Structure 1
Amino acid sequence: MGSHRLLLQLLALLTTVTKAKVFSRCELAHILQEEGLDGYGGYSLTDWLCMAFYESTFNTAAQSIKADGSADYGIFQISSQLWCTDDRRPSDDGCRIACRDLLSSNITDDIICAKRIVRNPPGMNAWEGWAMHCKGRDLSEWVEGCDL
């Protein structure tokens, strides 16, 4: 009986650790700043916040299936076609990561992969949400009141 309870506690702990999260704007701003994204690849912290909002509304569990059968995962909606592997179809796996790992509340791996993506020639244009809603705009409102 004791080992059964221990297993249940372990499963509960694992579920808690990998649970998805919807970040507040300022909470995410602080994390992205701590992770060195302000200025990374020539893009400001506000670019990264605006992109994450239009890609996932700051939800780490966001997933969207594309017409070609690929899918986008996590807070930055990272593509399974190019950057991560899932069970749907073959991938270039540019970030060497399982797509499901991009869905947890720990976004360190998402950030590492996003840095790799932005180093490529399209830069942030790789994200349609950023290109349509953030590019070339005054984004100062994204960090207002965040105490950065």
Structure 2
Amino acid sequence: MKALALLPLFGCLIMSNEAKVFSRCELAYKLQEAGMDGYEGYSLANWICMAFFESGFNTAAEDDNADGSTDYGIFQINSRVWCNNHRSPTENLCYMPCTDLLSSDITDDIICAKRIVKDPKGMDAWEDWTMHCKGRDLSEWVDGCDL
């Protein structure tokens, strides 16, 4: 009987690990810890701006594309090239299932984003970064964060 009483609590704990919407400064701190500030020449503010326009800082974000691929997670990583969604053809260059990109633990998202930005397109691989962040003063994205 006690086990049944703990079941809802256990369910909440599992649910809380599945997805997360980060605050701007919380994500900035997490990305700074992971060495993203200055990675491949892109400031921390670039990464924060991109993540905002791609997912609204939501790790559970998914977006289906006209070509049959899907974008996943906080950086909206595409299944056609970077991860395997087991539904559409993929190169799976990050060697991971796309569902790994939907959890509150963004370690694998960061590893894959680092792989993506090493390609010749750099951050231009993210259309929203190109449209909303590239070439702009992005200091507001990290202003007020205790980094």
> TM-score by structure 2 length?
0.92
Q: Percent identity?
A: 66
Compute the displacement of 1:11 (Å). Answer: 6.2
Q: Could you give the per-residue CA deviations for residues 20-62 of structure 1, whole angstroms, max 9, x where no partner exists?
A: 1110000000000000000001100000000000100100000
Q: Secondary structure at the match of 1:117?
A: helix
Report the equivalent of 2:106: 107
Could you tell me how far apart the structure 2 residues matched to 1:46 and 1:65 are?
A: 27
Report the equivalent of 1:29: 28
**Aligned ranges for residues 88-99 of structure 1 at < 5 Å?**
88-99=87-98
Quick one: structure 1 residues 139 and 87, their matched pair in 2 at CA, closer, same or farther if it must change by over 3 Å?
same
Could you tell me how far apart the structure 1 residues matched to 2:6 and 2:95 are?
A: 30
Compute the displacement of 1:88 (Å). Answer: 1.8
Report the equivalent of 1:16: 16
Report the equivalent of 1:75: 74
Could you tell me how far apart the structure 2 residues matched to 1:10 and 1:80 are?
A: 34
Quick one: structure 1 residues 90 and 10, their matched pair in 2 at CA, closer, same or farther if it must change by over 3 Å?
farther
Q: What 5-or-longer segments of structure 2 have no aligned partner?
A: none
Q: What 5-or-longer segments of structure 1 have no aligned partner?
A: none
Could you tell me how far apart the structure 1 residues matched to 2:100 and 2:5 are?
A: 25
Q: Could you give the per-residue CA deviations for residues 82-102 of structure 1, whole angstroms, max 9, x where no partner exists?
A: 000013212100001110110
Report the equivalent of 1:87: 86
Report the equivalent of 1:139: 138
Report the equivalent of 1:125: 124
Please give the root-mean-square deviation of Cα atoms over the aligned residues, in Å: 1.8
Moved over 3 A (4+): 4-11, 13-16
